[in-house]
Structure 1
Amino acid sequence: MADFSPVELLELFQRAQNQFTDRVDAVAPDQWEDESLPGWTVGDLVAHLVNEALWVPPLLAGEPYDVIEGRFPDATTDLLGDDPLLGWESAADGALAAFAADDALRHTVHLSRGPTPAGEYIFEMATDLTVHAWDLARATGGDTELDGELVTAALVYAERLPDGGVPGLFDPPLDVPPSADPQSRLLARFGRRG
């Protein structure tokens, strides 16, 4: 990625993981079944990100999407085990270690949409973690104020998305006034009203 060096991308990803971890750690035991997004519980949202993190090592090792898809379960709350925070942290640590390996961000990964530079993949994942940190905090009454540097970086990624969103991945953007703050613009770009 021309905008960020591999070191900067890795730092952004780690910060996004830490921000999300803080929100997972704040989930009360009685909140896991609360709605986080339409049709998703808090547990579903965290399981979705655990699943994404579990895919990172094999994708960076060169395995194609369709092979990995057959090996991993769907993103269900079964992925969280008895301790959802531990389940998330374990998967997140594996993803971070895979991205941090020598020259990992110079590889190409094979996603459902086709070959993708690993630098773009980590940037997308950091953006996803940032937006979902807000989703999780909103659902649980937590801190919805996102890290400003992560928001700025995620806006760079978001501005590259098609105007109509990405069906199945990102909702179409909402209109916000030009004077809206960066976090509100980011959330609106992903179909959320902040």
Structure 2
Amino acid sequence: MDLLTALHAATDEFGRRLALADDDDWTRGTPCSGWDVHYLAAHVVGGNRFAISILGGMTASAAIEEVMSTSQLGDDPLAAWEDTSVAQLDAFHAAAVFERRVDHPLGEITGREFLEFRVFDITVHAWDLARSIGADDQLDADLVDAVLGIVDRGPAGMGFGIAPLGEADDTASPQARLLDLTGRR
């Protein structure tokens, strides 16, 4: 699966589950320590906004400031998700995004590397969201394989301090291995 297809698949996985969230779900805890469903959704929508900004040429610090000054979900979390997802997909489809350098909190990286971060983040959080709201947590198998490839190429914990559990062996399913690598069960 190529990276743009993976971004579309990750976007579908998260969006499908977010559409299932009801009023009682927003305060449920998630596998992300200290985060509830509202915070998790705001994190992913904020990540979309951040991506749109830095792919548009903004510095990471300016993009973070812009994102932090905005209510991520507003009155309609699903609409915020859908609007920012479409804009993020459009930004990544722009010409020469793979080779272009972008400013990121981890330093200057290529658009391709940034796309890998976004695919990773949205995919893993789709699973988190599913677990939190009691939805189907089985991720698309091709997407899982793509994200495993990203994790293999990327820095440990994808640069975000995520510690693998080290419990999944070679006989575990690809999804179980991915979850283990991201500190999840």
TM-score (norm 2): 0.92
CA apart distance, 1:74: 6.5
Asked if the contact 2:26/2:36 (under 8 Å) is kept, the reply is yes
Find the counterpart in structure 1 of residue 149 from structure 2.
Answer: 156
Which amino acid in the other structure matches residue 126 of structure 1?
V
Q: Secondary structure at the match of 1:142?
A: coil
| Residue among 63, 67, 74 paired with 1:81 | 74
1:57 corresponds to 2:38: no
The residue type paired with residue 86 of structure 1 is: A
What does residue 14 of structure 1 align with? 8
Contact between 2:144 and 2:174, CA under 8 Å: does it hold in 1?
yes
Count residues with an aligned counterpart: 183
Instruction: Map 1:92-171 onto structure 2 (within 5 A).
Output: 92-163=85-156, 165=157, 169-171=160-162
Q: Which deviates further from its counterpart, 180-189 or 117-126?
A: 117-126
| Per-residue deviation, 1:116 | 0.5
Structure 1 gap segments, 5+ residues each: none
CA RMSD of aligned residues (A): 1.7
Most deviating of 103-112 and 127-136: 103-112
Q: Which amino acid aligns with 2:137?
A: T
Aligned AA for 1:9?
L
1:55–1:68: 8 Å Cα contact kept in structure 2? yes
Q: 1:80: how far off?
A: 0.8
Moved more, 146-155 or 96-105: 96-105
**Partner secondary structure for residue 142 of structure 2:** helix
Residue in 2 that maps onto 1:66: 61
- Identify which range, 57-66 or 121-130, moves more after superposition: 57-66
**Residue identity (%):** 34
Amino acid at match of 1:134: W
1:105 corresponds to which letter in structure 2?
F
Look up the equivalent residue of 1:130 and give its one-letter code: T
Match of 1:174 among 165, 175, 183: 165
Q: CA deviation at 1:12?
A: 1.0
CA distance in 1, matches of 2:103, 2:46: 16
Unaligned runs of 5+ in 2: none
Distance 1:74 1:157, change over 3 A: farther
What SS does structure 2 have at the residue aligned with 1:109? strand
TM-score where L is the length of structure 1: 0.88
Task: Write the distance in 1 (CA, Å) between the matches of 2:182 and 2:37.
Answer: 18
How far apart are residue 180 of structure 1 and its match? Answer: 0.5
Instruction: Work out whether residues 59 and 109 of structure 1, in 8 Å CA contact, stay in contact via their aligned partners in 2.
Output: yes
Assess, with a 3 A threshold, how the Cα gap between structure 1 residues 152 and 170 changes in structure 2: closer, same or farther: farther
**Structure 1 outlier segments of 4+, above 6 Å:** none
Distance 2:133 2:21 in 1: 6
